[in-house]
Amino acid sequence: MAVDDRSEATVKTFAVKPKLKPTNKKSPSSPESNYWKSFKPKQTQTLVSSITSLAFSPTAPHDFAATHSATLTIFSSQTLEPKSTISAFKDTATSACFRSDGQLIAAGSYSGQIQVFDPKKRSALRCLSGHSRPVHFVSYPRVDKLHLFSGGDDSVVKYWDVLSGDSIHNLYGHKDYVRCGDGSPASDDMFITGSYDHTVRVWDVRVSNNGSMLSINHGAPVEDVIYLPSGGLIATAGGNNVKIWDVIGGGKLLYSMETHNKTITSLCVGKIGNQNRILSVSLDGYLKVFDYSTLKITSSVRFPSSLMSVAFSPDCATRVIGSSNGILYAGKRKTKENMESVKPEWGKHVGFGYEPEKRVLRPSYFRYFHRGQNEKPSKGDYLIMRPKKVKLAEHDKLLKKFHHKEALVSALRAKNPENIVAVMEELVSRKKLLKCVSNLGVDELGLLLSFLQKYSTMPRYAGVLIVLAKKVVENRIDDISGSEELKSCIRNLKRSIVEEIRIQESLQELQGIISPLLKIAGRN
């Protein structure tokens, strides 16, 4: 009942519905949505308190670390179970970060100290003291193994020499808590930091005045900031907005998306194939995947509690999410490498070898050309689509069979003037029109005279129909004089022609009056 009451309160407080609704099981899903659904979240265990950060080791087998309470726990990426626990912090641990070779891990804490550990020995190798307030982010450069940069609630960004334990640079510029940062993939001397003063600053330790090279105003307290893999773009999270900026272009805002209902707490970069995506989590319990090349949300997953951190493994096999109530949601996806490593081992234990994969069909094989139509094309195949078969009208089918009279009658009954005139012109080119007219029955002749009476005076068809009307009267005079219905059609045709002649004479009179006036106006 407590969970239901809490969810009802959430709905009442946030009346705006999320843009992405849960997918219907019957609705077709895209390959990308299936890819992200393949990371089925498994609740590994409930930790002591809120999971403040998550980080993957850059080297195989890509174990990951989670900070919670005064503890740093390292999990196996294969079994998703804890491997070791480090409890050497005096206060809440924050912002774990692996070195580029995965041999060391650094983490800050609310005590203001930064500690560097050996994950295997679980002993503190260095303790860096210099921040006067809680440290909220610590990060290694992407390749550099000798330095660290950090930021905390004292609004100071520090650049450390790990060997000596001294602060090389104290970087000033932020006016409020520094809560996040990330190293540049293009240079080990550059990094970015985000603060609650709404700004994101770009730093370069090679600059002599130790000032920030660029300052960007996000418009809200910045909760997280990451470099995108190219190194020229950054993504910032603050409030319920994620914004993408062009750093090389002077901090130009490229795109802003508002997809979460509550504060976004963490960002990371994920991969699908060779394409990169931005993963964001929020206090509203949603994980959303954003394709910044097409500027579209490609996936949305709901979790039962507020989310605080997210991380994605470098081998694209594991995704972990930390919640505010200490629950760690870890999802692992099956990869080809995993399956290949399992098959030989399984064969050894059972006593049989595993079945080899089927040979790939190639154009050099005879069976390649006898594949069924259900065979799916591969990446290198060229798809040749058959042109759609044109559906012929009834009169076109009759013309193809050289049934000329039937084609003319069929067109007259369809009552489409364009088709009727087109059939007549085709019969003229075949020299069969007069023969068809002479073979028409009384009812069919009535259809033809009715059509001539209605459309003979139209300028679009007059060139063909007036000549035809004259030939019909000459050739079928005996049939017309013997039928009152056909006589009526002829009278109507005569009346239409007389009216058209009167209209043309009136137009000629008007033209004679207007022409001199136009000449006089042209002279003036």
Q: What is the pLDDT of residues 116-139, one digit of tens each?
A: 888 888 778 888 888 888 898 898
Domain co-membership, 450 together with 304: no
**CA neighbor of 456 nearest in space, from 470, 444, 443:** 470
Please, what is the average pLDDT of the chain?
Answer: 81
pLDDT value at residue 295: 82
Under DSSP, is residue 414 helix (H, G, I), strand (E, B) or coil?
helix
Residue scoring higher pLDDT (234 or 317): 234
Single out the residue in 281, 305, 332 at which a domain terminates.
332
Checking if the pLDDT of 21 tops 70, the result is no
Single out the residue in 290, 314, 332 at which a domain terminates.
332
pLDDT value at residue 194: 92
pLDDT value at residue 332: 82
Residue 141 lies in a domain: yes
Domain co-membership, 110 together with 190: yes
Domain count, the chain: 2
* Model pLDDT for residues 419-462, shown as the tens digit of each residue: 888 988 898 898 888 888 888 888 888 888 888 888 888 888 88
Residue 313 lies in a domain: yes
pLDDT value at residue 373: 62
pLDDT value at residue 345: 40
pLDDT value at residue 520: 84
pLDDT value at residue 200: 92
pLDDT value at residue 28: 53
230-242 mean pLDDT: 88
Q: In terms of residue numbers, what domain contains 110?
A: 35-332
Domain co-membership, 307 together with 214: yes
**CATH number for the domain that contains residue 190:** 2.130.10.10
Domain co-membership, 324 together with 407: no
Domain co-membership, 202 together with 310: yes
E-strand stretches of 184-312: 190-195, 199-204, 214-217, 222-227, 233-238, 241-246, 252-257, 264-272, 275-282, 286-291, 296-302, 307-312
pLDDT value at residue 18: 45
Burial of 269 (0-12, 13-18, 19+ CB in 10 A): middle
Ranges 44-48, 49-53, 180-184, 217-221: which has the least confidence: 44-48
Q: Which helix (H) or strand (E) holds 117?
A: strand 113-118
pLDDT value at residue 26: 45
> Which of the 8 DSSP states describes residue 165?
T
Residue 436 lies in a domain: yes
Tokens of 419: 């088709």
Q: Return the residue matching tokens 């070779």.
A: 101
Domain co-membership, 327 together with 459: no
Entry pTM: 0.57
Q: Return the residue matching tokens 């999320």.
A: 18
330-341 mean pLDDT: 59
Domain co-membership, 311 together with 401: no
Tokens of 187: 């240079």
Q: Are 76 and 317 in contact (CB under 8 A)?
A: no
Residue 380 lies in a domain: no
pLDDT value at residue 524: 66
pLDDT value at residue 87: 83
140-168 mean pLDDT: 87
Residue 174 lies in a domain: yes
Ranges 34-43, 105-114, 269-278, 314-323: which has the least confidence: 34-43
Query: Phi/psi of residue 199, each to 5°?
Result: -110, 155
Domain co-membership, 300 together with 425: no
Confidence of residue 1 (pLDDT cuts 50, 70, 90): very low
307-329 mean pLDDT: 87
Confidence of residue 58 (pLDDT cuts 50, 70, 90): confident
Domain co-membership, 416 together with 271: no
430-438, Cβ contacts within 8 angstroms, sequence gap of 24 or more: 430/404, 432/404, 433/408, 433/468, 434/471, 434/475, 435/404, 436/404, 436/405, 436/408, 437/468, 437/471, 437/472, 437/475, 437/476, 438/475, 438/476
Domain co-membership, 254 together with 108: yes
* Model pLDDT for residues 484-494, shown as the tens digit of each residue: 888 888 888 88
Residue 165 lies in a domain: yes
Domain co-membership, 292 together with 401: no
Question: What's the angle, vertex CA 289, arms to CA 283 and CA 292, rounded to 5?
Answer: 120
Tokens of 329: 């949601």
Checking if the pLDDT of 472 tops 60, the result is yes
* Model pLDDT for residues 277-287, shown as the tens digit of each residue: 889 999 888 88
329-347 mean pLDDT: 54
* Model pLDDT for residues 169-200, shown as the tens digit of each residue: 888 888 989 989 998 888 888 899 999 999 99
Domain co-membership, 293 together with 223: yes
Residue 382 lies in a domain: no
Checking if the pLDDT of 11 tops 60, the result is no
Single out the residue in 332, 349, 380 at which a domain terminates.
332
Residue 355 lies in a domain: no
**Bridge partners, residue 2, by sequence:** none
